[in-house]
A and B are shown apart, each in its own frame.
Chain A
Amino acid sequence: MLRDPAKTAAGVPPPLSIRNMTVAYDRRAAVDDVSLTIRNGRLVAVVGPNGAGKSSLIRGVLGLVSASGTAEAFGRPVDAVRDRIAYVPQRAAVDWDFPASALDVVTMGLYRRAGWFRPITRSHKDRARAALAEVGMADFAARPIGALSGGQQQRVFFARALVQDADLLFLDEPFAGVDAVTEQIVFSKLKALRDDGKTIIVVHHDLDTVTDHFDDAVLLNKRLVASGPVDDVLTPDNLAIAYGGRLAKALAAVR
């Protein structure tokens, strides 16, 4: 009998397995027939040129845009395991004038656990405060979210994902336009989570830092170019396929 390729050697289903995923906007494909499997307990960078469909792939997996193909997390449809998945969207997507404090935003990560029609309790708020403290934002709990700097806002959204205590985390461009302190705090938390056995998938725009921080990489240019350990993926040949010849040579030289 053929072994299911989605199963790892131990027979445990992988944290994420994507089969033939295509995402199209107005009949133009942003993600074209991508299949891949993410290994457990890895810090994974999704990289590729602008317009390569990195964010669209994540949104397709999470069912935020209509997509064909399937995505399974821990061997089950994503919709059935949303309580084990956390998502940090791109920062620009919300209404910054909304009347919400940093603590309010983090507490939203516990709404699902609290359940419909049920109020947020003191212990929920305590957990949210603890998550804010973990990202160095304890003193900003009462601040309106719109009054924080870009990096501080990003840390608040990251804390909202932390408080969910998820096993699989998606972060969409978390380091775009943030300060060095935020970048350092988020990376060290991501590594700690990875060491705890969580799987983290990060849409990342900065090829230079992939080798330093990530275990695995997914290289995308609408189609999948390569996926696996960083050093196997970011080869000059693969980069040439993803980015086109000349740019790839320049990138390889930098590395």
Chain B
Amino acid sequence: MPHELLAALFFQGGYNTAVVIIGAAALGAAGGAVGVFAMLRGRALVADAISHATLPGVALGFMAAYFLGYSGRSLFVLLGGAALSAAAAVFSINAIRRHTRLKEDAAVASVLGVFFGLGIALLSIVQGLPTAGQAGLDAFLLGSTAGIRLIDAAALAAAAVLTLLSLALVFKELRVAAFDPVYAQAHGLRPERADAILLVLVLIAVVLGLRTVGLVLAVALLVIAPAAARFWSDRLGIIVLVAAGLGASGAWLGASLSAAFSNLPAGATIVLVLFVLFVLSFIAGAARGVVPRYLRRMNGAVAP
């Protein structure tokens, strides 16, 4: 098996596998970069709700495609459904927050549970349809690198790169909305617009990663790489770059492992690789890692 892993890592495992792995790396980069702002703005739980709330949309997308006579395998019909139901979840969260006195985490957790429950119920209906077996809907739960069409993988990678570019355009707006929303509002910088843009970027990153990472673990892509990146720098721009790099490496390694050992689910493998990167960052991270901090203290430098 090792040579199969090496082959996958260095894109020798067949053209199709290579494209899927490169696509996964692009998703990892986008997820890591967007995730930095989600983490700093305290939106990690909302990202989790967004990812779980995609399930009803995936199932409904499949049904719609089936009854309209498509095979139901077109990835973008399913992802379109996923995006719509995730957007409905975001609206529900905002409505609950505005019209009740529930705390935000209660609103988010309720919406997550209800949408995921609805998705599981719909999925059991879908499973009864004749073509459901080949649809690979299980891949949306736990992620898989198998059975992704070349053109889909390339489109996902391109969309991930576009997401990164959009993030660069709103970098300073997201920064001030996350750091000091009260000042941003007083200064007329419209932090609520920055927040809305951030939620859209989170939604896009989650939906793009759905097929590869799976909805149960999609949030890990948005949280673990940024949390690890925080150990490396106190500068936001560098943290975003490091998070994108860690996300890309984690997804690349994890997807390669999953492709080489075909019964390893891609989502779980990617998350475990990211966790290893997190532990390494915790130990060695230049700004806040345990070892550099210890060395600085030994040298008598003032802790920053």
Report if B180 contacts A (CB, 8 A): yes
Are A108 and B173 interface neighbours, CB within 8 A? no
Query: Which residues of B from 171 to 190 have beta carbons under 8 Å from A?
Result: 171-173, 175-176, 178-180, 182-189
Are A62 and B186 interface neighbours, CB within 8 A? yes
Are B235 and A112 interface neighbours, CB within 8 A? no
A119 and B172 in contact, given A95-B40, A112-B187, A164-B187 (Cβ under 8 angstroms):
yes
A99 and B189 in contact, given A104-B236, A111-B173, A116-B173 (Cβ under 8 angstroms):
no
Q: Give Cα A85 to B186, complex, Å.
A: 8
A87 and B183 in contact, given A99-B236, A119-B172 (Cβ under 8 angstroms):
yes
B183 / chain A contacts, CB cutoff of 8 Å? 87, 89, 108, 160
Q: Give Cα A109 to B175, complex, Å.
A: 12
Report if B170 contacts A (CB, 8 A): yes
Report if A120 contacts B (CB, 8 A): yes
Are A111 and B176 interface neighbours, CB within 8 A? yes
Are B234 and A117 interface neighbours, CB within 8 A? no
Are A99 and B230 interface neighbours, CB within 8 A? yes
B188 / chain A contacts, CB cutoff of 8 Å? 79, 82-83, 112
B239 / chain A contacts, CB cutoff of 8 Å? 99
Report if B92 contacts A (CB, 8 A): no
Q: Give Cα A114 to B171, complex, Å.
A: 13
Are B40 and A87 interface neighbours, CB within 8 A? no
Q: Give Cα A104 to B178, complex, Å.
A: 13
Are B179 and A98 interface neighbours, CB within 8 A? yes
Report if A143 contacts B (CB, 8 A): yes
- Residue A111 contacts which of B185, B189, B230, B304 (CB distance < 8 angstroms)? B189
Report if A100 contacts B (CB, 8 A): yes
Chain B residues touching A, majority SS: helix
Q: Give Cα A64 to B182, complex, Å.
A: 7
**CB-nearest residue of chain B to A116:** B173
- Residue B235 contacts which of A93, A99, A147 (CB distance < 8 angstroms)? A99
Q: Give Cα A63 to B185, complex, Å.
A: 8
- Residue B186 contacts which of A64, A95, A98, A111 (CB distance < 8 angstroms)? A64
A95 / chain B contacts, CB cutoff of 8 Å? 40, 178-179
B176 / chain A contacts, CB cutoff of 8 Å? 108, 111
Report if A254 contacts B (CB, 8 A): no
Report if B110 contacts A (CB, 8 A): no
Query: Which residues of B from 133 to 189 have beta carbons under 8 Å from A?
Result: 169-173, 175-176, 178-180, 182-189
Q: Give Cα A85 to B185, complex, Å.
A: 12
Most buried by A among B173, B178, B187, B239: B187
Are A117 and B169 interface neighbours, CB within 8 A? yes
Are B170 and A117 interface neighbours, CB within 8 A? yes
- Interface bits A99-110 vs B (CB < 8 Å: 1, else 0): 111001100110
- Interface bits A59-89 vs B (CB < 8 Å: 1, else 0): 0001110000000000000010011011101
B16 / chain A contacts, CB cutoff of 8 Å? none
Q: Give Cα A233 to B230, complex, Å.
A: 51
Report if A144 contacts B (CB, 8 A): yes
Report if A1 contacts B (CB, 8 A): no
B230 / chain A contacts, CB cutoff of 8 Å? 99
Q: Give Cα A83 to B189, complex, Å.
A: 10
Are A143 and B180 interface neighbours, CB within 8 A? no
**CB-nearest residue of chain A to B101:** A26
Are B304 and A114 interface neighbours, CB within 8 A? no
Report if A9 contacts B (CB, 8 A): no
Q: Give Cα A160 to B187, complex, Å.
A: 11
Query: Which residues of A from 127 to 176 have beta carbons under 8 Å from B?
Result: 143-144, 147, 160, 164, 170
Are A114 and B172 interface neighbours, CB within 8 A? yes
Are A101 and B172 interface neighbours, CB within 8 A? no
Report if A94 contacts B (CB, 8 A): yes
Taking the closest CB of chain A, its distance from the CB of B175, in whole angstroms, is 7
**CB-nearest residue of chain B to A119:** B172
Taking the closest CB of chain B, its distance from the CB of A145, in whole angstroms, is 9
Taking the closest CB of chain A, its distance from the CB of B284, in whole angstroms, is 18
A93 / chain B contacts, CB cutoff of 8 Å? 180, 182
Most buried by A among B176, B180, B239: B180
Q: Give Cα A118 to B185, complex, Å.
A: 19
Give me the interface of A with B, judged by CB distance under 8 Å: 62-64, 79, 82-83, 85-87, 89, 93-95, 98-101, 104-105, 108-109, 111-112, 114, 116-117, 119-120, 143-144, 147, 160, 164, 170
Other A-B contacts than A82-B186, A99-B235, A108-B176, 7 sampled, CB-CB below 8 A, are A86-B187, A98-B40, A99-B40, A100-B236, A108-B172, A111-B176, A120-B172
Q: Can you show 21 pairs from A to B with CB atoms below 8 A apart?
A: A62-B186, A63-B186, A82-B186, A83-B188, A87-B183, A87-B186, A89-B182, A93-B182, A95-B40, A99-B230, A100-B179, A104-B175, A104-B236, A108-B175, A108-B179, A108-B187, A111-B173, A111-B176, A112-B188, A144-B234, A147-B304
Interchain residue pairs A-B with the least CB separation, the first 8: A82-B188, A87-B186, A144-B234, A99-B236, A62-B186, A98-B179, A94-B180, A108-B176
